[in-house]
A and B are shown apart, each in its own frame.
Chain A
């Protein structure tokens, strides 16, 4: 077992963990003040639910053995048979060409956090309008039926896309295309926000968006470089290309935006950064610096254009999960087909396209069925009144920003202090 590689994967796992709260802030700043807590919680709850499901059966279904090139088996249910001597192959090889070994537990933790962030990515599309209980059920069903199988296809030996030779270094297909198309299907079932295209729905805090973007970017080094499961030149290239493509995408998005809409916006810079990060995810280990710049610029410009499609086509992908993650993921996945320094060409491009479109087809159908089933049983959408009042209050019984007591007055907010409440209840007992 290689200590250096194992240690690197553990640190990378911690970096990937930070991306989920980072994503929560990125999305949270973009919604109105009445639903920011709900937006934060939709991401944050995934850390709770998916971590547990991963240990119970997710890891086994994704990475233990293979059944029909489609899904793993049940041999590692509850991490059965895995102990501190178990190892997994790194992509790093020694002088004889044999793979380094890393502790299986480090791989399980690292991959767990990928499974956590993927459903969280979809939450932005459903901002302001779903029942939190329904969302929790959706997350559990979606990772089980959409994420675990697709992760197996792409990353597990035996998975049909893995065996075909599809390049998905860190999750352009399994994470971003998967979540992007899932978001589209869910939105089509759940429907538009009340007042979509009519009422102003400005981001309530762009500083929050920028903090979230920074945390995502920081964590993404672990997400991308860590996916090599060890440390060598390819790991370093991936980290470097992550920075290069993100920078190029910021510039690309801003220039397009300045020409089309007249200003360099903060939201545009942050969105461009995320688009670049998404596009370099599948490709960064296999392209040179100019390839990374090209992928970044194309992602920035095309995603900046793609986010306005929802107004033309009339679906309310509230925070542009489709425009950024699906489109960015497809760009990175297809472009690496040509730009890959070792294998690039029409043949590889064909494999990449097969990977991207088969995941889109499968996950769209599965997600639509899950969302429809939830809608018809427990109900996916919050009531009209709850949505207008704000899902923070109606789903979580909280308010994000207490403006009313800014001057220390208790009259305006009518807050009953816990002490006063306790005194009252004692009086009742007496």
Chain B
């Protein structure tokens, strides 16, 4: 199994969710995050005082996938998240040792 993590622009969340549902993903976790990449932050001015806001709001999406589906799933997320402008975010995957469905105790791919 793989854990796929995507940190993307908040307004792409609905597109990504729909694309994942269409692909057949049954569950995901979304958290609000903040950070910066090459895009860096932005500048705000209050009564003439300039503030550089380093960290910009992002959405972190986490999905567990079977090994065979992982690469395809990443493509689905990337396609749905892309606007072509700087600051679109990143997607990565990590190996997962085990997963358990709490209600039934099922383990491994059955728990997904």
Contact = CB atoms under 8 A, between A and B. Distances in A.
B47 A311 contact: no
Interface stretch (B48-56, B60-68, B76-84, B95-103): B48-56
B45 A308 contact: no
* Contact-residue bracket for chain B: 10 to 19
Contacts of A400: none
B51 A200 contact: yes
Interface stretch (A79-87, A126-134, A256-264, A326-334): A256-264
Nearest to A263: B45
Contacts of B53: 200
B45 A265 contact: yes
Contact of A268 (B44, B47, B50, B51): B47
B47 A267 contact: yes
Contacts of A260: 48
B51 A320 contact: no
* Contact-residue bracket for chain A: 10 to 19
A224 interface: no
A267 B46 CA distance: 7
Nearest to B48: A308
Interface in B66-96: none
Contacts of B48: 257, 260-261, 304, 307-308
A307 B51 contact: no
Nearest to A197: B49
B46 A202 contact: yes
Interface in A295-317: 304, 307-308, 311
Nearest to B44: A202
B47 A271 contact: yes
A307 B47 CA distance: 7
A7 interface: no
Contacts of A268: 47
A78 interface: no
A320 B46 contact: no
A344 interface: no
B45 A261 contact: yes
Contacts of B52: 200
Contacts of A320: 47
A22 B49 CA distance: 24
Interface string A216-237: 0000000000000000000000
B32 to A, nearest CB: 12
A104 to B, nearest CB: 42
Contacts of A311: 49
A203 interface: yes
Interface in A311-355: 311, 320
Interface centre among A200, A203, A262, A307 (most CB of B within 10 A): A200
A192 to B, nearest CB: 14
Nearest to B46: A267
A260 B51 CA distance: 15
A260 B45 CA distance: 11
Contacts of B47: 267-268, 271, 304, 307-308, 320
A214 B47 CA distance: 19
Contacts of A257: 48
B81 to A, nearest CB: 26
Contacts of B49: 308, 311
Nearest to A262: B45
Interface string A260-293: 1111010110010000000000000000000000
15 contacts: A200-B51, A200-B53, A202-B46, A202-B51, A203-B46, A260-B48, A263-B45, A265-B45, A267-B46, A268-B47, A271-B47, A304-B47, A304-B48, A308-B48, A320-B47
Given A260-B48, A261-B50, A267-B46, 13 more contacts: A200-B51, A200-B52, A200-B53, A202-B44, A202-B46, A202-B51, A203-B46, A261-B45, A265-B46, A304-B47, A307-B47, A308-B49, A320-B47
Among all A-B residue pairs, the 6 with the closest Cβ atoms: A308-B48, A261-B45, A200-B51, A307-B47, A267-B46, A202-B51
